[in-house]
Structure 1
Amino acid sequence: MEKYIVLKDLERGAVGDPFGNASFGPGVRAISGPPEPRIEVLQLDHHDRAELLRDQTVVALAPAMPTRLIEPVAVAPAADAPATWGVAAVGADTSPFTGQGTVVAVLDTGIDATHPAFQGVDIVQRDFTGEGDGDGNGHGTHCAGTVFGRDVDGQRIGVAPGVPKALIAKVLGAEGGGDSEMLLSAIQWALDNGANVISMSLGFDFPGLVDESVQAGWPPALATSRALELFRGNLRLFDAVMSLARAREAFGGGAVVVAAAGNESQRNVNPNFEIATSLPAAADGVVSVGALGRSGDRLDIAPFSNTFPMIAAPGVGILSAEAGGGLRAMSGTSMATPHVAGLSALWWEQIRASGLPLQLIVQTVVAKLRATARVDTLVDGLDAADRGAGLAVAPDGSS
């Protein structure tokens, strides 16, 4: 018996294989209303799994896989970098928009809701780890501060400081670990509670899964093969979740989903030491984010930032809220991601004010992020595979 995550849609059923392929192919029923997703966790053997796939409401299923926060990287910011240079680099400090009227969800290690940066924000917390509300790690507090933090002692830290409501899903414990069940359940919770933007600075722990199996006595080749099977299954499962999220857009729902590309590259060791964007950032429909640092008067890709992101944002020496009070600087694609989540809130406000129907806002926000991204502020010759569309920027009021 093994723990499986089962994704059902009570409105739209499909007969699928163990990895959800058929949810995008033959057998899909016509949609007459918005999706009604439900995530269930079951203990299944091979026979149970085969029987379950006869259920027309099952869209996809996969064994649960461990997740981890994308650990910050020890990289010193440029000596002449202003304290919160990222806010200015993306143009949030001069934008007429603040994220007013948008709902942002941060899926991370929780939040220190008592921090001054979050005064006046309607914070709704939901714990998926069993540890209870709060942030015993500090990663989630820092990321939330960059998205919608208010000024602290006169210092601006938030890209979208006008966001009135935040959904905080604790999907990683104090040690930074969780699993795909927690993550997918949190995404459904965020969508059900009206999130316009969902920010995730975490990844699927493929190496950790291999190590765990090897320590349990599995041969390395078998452990790697099993990890690949789970990775593939969870990718298909995540794609199915994103497909249902997109289906909600036709009924005025859905959200811009933003995720960190990962910090595994080591260009400082070898220019060719580049690791591709990992899950969940690699899933279909997710805005994957790479990290930029200052290089003189321009920006360059951070040496740790994984390649093939959709877009890039400041991610080196980012000052934001520290759990327990005060501010601290951190580096990583985890820090770049909340910049783009905050920018998505600014674009959401701007586009909604233009009168565009709700059904079109999600895809329009993503299109605006890509279409307005800047490359003129980047160092010459920067590989497009490393920086994606370029530096994400805020609406200036004329866009």
Structure 2
Amino acid sequence: MTMIKKGLIFLIITLFVLGFTQINAQQNRYWVFFKDKQGSKFNPIAYFDQKAIERRIKSGIPLYDSTDFPLNETYIKKTKACVQNVNGHTRWFNAISVTASPKQIQNLQKLVFVTDIQAITFSAVPTSKPFDSTLTYSEKELLEIQTSRMQAKLFTSKGYTGKGIRIAIFDAGFPSVDKNPVFRHLIKNKQIIKTWDFARKKENVFVSDVHGTMVLSCIAGKINGKNIGMAPDAEFLLARTEVKAEPFSEEENWLRAAEWADKNGADIINSSLAYTYHRHMTFEMDGHTSLVAKAANMAANKGMLVVNAMGNDGAQDWKILATPADADSVISVGAINPYTNFHAAYSSYGPTSAFKTKPNVVAVGSVIAAGKSKLKKVKGTSFAAPLVAGFAACAWQSKKSLTNFQLFSLIEKSGHLYPYYDYAHGYGVPQASYFINNNASLHNKKQTFEFVEKGNQLIVKVKKEFIKKKPVSANNYLYYNLKNEAGFIEKYWLIDVYQQKAVVINLDDMAEYKEITVHYKAYTSSCKLGD
């Protein structure tokens, strides 16, 4: 993901170039919702891909569901006659996207079959910051780190490479995927099942921004016999949804792409796109306000696992996640620094504005990915998300009977920090050993520290045998958080341990906090405060 400042500069420049008329046209886009689907005919066997049918049966989801029915054609025709343009539609929400003037909207509101009209106000924020690079020794090391942090070789050793799992990727474009040697195996083995450009309404997605190419490589890329991602044998649906010249059309495209992915049998959706309110209202990030968040939840209710980047606003004024990462049923992925293993400064923070826990997990955010003509070093939660999507494909292959919600829960539990949680690291980096060892807990049963109350102080005392002589080690980090009376995390820290008295807290200053939770060397424990 690109940092927000650059995203804003780009947006401002774009708006000036497009001119006043085009700005008005963009801002006059609306969702028009219909009251019913009366008279619609639907044949699920003819409509759905066989894999979509199998997914529904496995998850106990009815094949004949009204949210999948087509829209009422009479309603569409009457609406089209009242507006400037019809841009697209969504079966799931029984709505069409239109471009219309305020007067036309007033006329639409009088139609008896129209139940609601909502302005389209979200615009996409890029989620990467690429730069050219040759593969130096350190970059070869990084290529290894990006998957080894999730124990990729454990999956590979058991033959879990994403085979049989279908992944839909929503992004800005996939240039050179059809020619790049990194994806030669996908072309040769016909693993790219379908493609669709929702902006140009064409099948060819091998154009435009290279961002999608890099994201795909983080799931399935291979070069010189080495995997860039963890699921080189998965199948793919590639959707181009992001259009720089039309910043307010992307939410529409995401909705349509989600329905398309469902129809065509996707098991997993990977979205490295994040949407923020154009007036920067962070309270909108509550998991149920934006239509794209509702669509992400709907996709999950259809049996798909939705993986989304948190966003790259951690060092900016916005700071928190962007939608649809705020959706409850989305695995929202933050980024960590590959060398320190703690939160990458740019990675957006949780929670949602409704205090729901986000991110769910994290992965390495600085990676080696495939560009148009060579490998590049890039960074952003855009690239952490596909690493987790690839992990999820392998995990699902290893336990095919799981539903998407069961897999969601197990991925959280596989996090290296679980059950510890904070709003920067989530439950940590998913670990393949959790799935290989039949959900065996990664939690250390051997106590590594204890709580000692001395006077008005609470001391987190680390046992001698668990203190390393050399500080500044990723394995030497101690995490702790403080929760309020409602059970919400108020503050959290990460420290390097170099002495037994790792944390000393003055209890007189803790009146507003009710519990401290500490994690150190795979051992987690909590202590009540103020009792």
Which band: TM-score by shorter chain?
Answer: 0.7 to 0.9
Alignment-derived partner of residue 306 in structure 1:
348
1:1-399 mapped onto 2 (5 Å cutoff): 2-6=28-32, 33-34=64-65, 35-36=67-68, 37=92, 40-43=96-99, 45=102, 46-48=105-107, 50-51=109-110, 54-55=113-114, 61-63=118-120, 65-72=122-129, 81-95=141-155, 96=158, 97-111=160-174, 112-121=177-186, 122-123=191-192, 124-130=194-200, 133-149=205-221, 151-163=222-234, 165-173=235-243, 179-206=250-277, 209-210=278-279, 235-248=289-302, 254-266=303-315, 275-295=319-339, 299-308=341-350, 309-316=359-366, 318-323=367-372, 325-352=373-400, 356=401, 361-375=403-417, 384-394=422-432, 396-399=435-438
Distance in 2, Cα, partners of 1:146 & 1:73: 14
Distance in 2, Cα, partners of 1:91 & 1:176: 40
1:118-167, Cα deviation, whole Å (9 max, x unpaired)? 22322221101229521422111011011122x2123320111121x211
CA contact (8 A) 1:235 1:283 kept: no
CA contact (8 A) 1:64 1:179 kept: no
Distance in 2, Cα, partners of 1:9 & 1:99: 41
Distance in 1, Cα, partners of 2:119 & 2:282: 12
CA contact (8 A) 1:65 1:231 kept: no
1:81-121, Cα deviation, whole Å (9 max, x unpaired)? 44331111111222121111010011012212222222232
Distance in 2, Cα, partners of 1:348 & 1:48: 50
Query: Percent identity over the alignment?
Result: 23
Taking structure 1 as reference, are residues 11 and 312 closer, same or farther at Cα in structure 2, changes over 3 Å only? farther
CA contact (8 A) 2:219 2:230 kept: yes
Distance in 2, Cα, partners of 1:51 & 1:230: 28
1:203-258, Cα deviation, whole Å (9 max, x unpaired)? 1143xx35xxxxxxxxxxxxx6xx7899889934234323433443xxxxx21111
Distance in 2, Cα, partners of 1:387 & 1:311: 7
CA contact (8 A) 2:150 2:430 kept: yes
CA contact (8 A) 1:105 1:169 kept: yes
Taking structure 1 as reference, are residues 62 and 173 closer, same or farther at Cα in structure 2, changes over 3 Å only? closer
Task: Point out the structure with max Rg over C-alpha.
Answer: 2
The CA deviation at 1:8 is 6.4
Q: Which amino acid aligns with 1:201?
A: S
Taking structure 1 as reference, are residues 366 and 69 closer, same or farther at Cα in structure 2, changes over 3 Å only? same
Distance in 2, Cα, partners of 1:134 & 1:260: 22
1:275-323, Cα deviation, whole Å (9 max, x unpaired)? 1111121123111110011345xx111111111211101112x012112
The structure with higher relative contact order (CA 8 Å, sep 6+) is 1
Taking structure 1 as reference, are residues 292 and 243 closer, same or farther at Cα in structure 2, changes over 3 Å only? closer
* 2:337 alignment partner, SS class: strand
Distance in 1, Cα, partners of 2:412 & 2:287: 29
Segments of 5+ residues of structure 1 without an aligned counterpart are 13-30, 211-223, 249-253, 268-272, 377-381
Taking structure 1 as reference, are residues 233 and 181 closer, same or farther at Cα in structure 2, changes over 3 Å only? farther
The CA deviation at 1:9 is 9.4
Distance in 1, Cα, partners of 2:215 & 2:407: 21
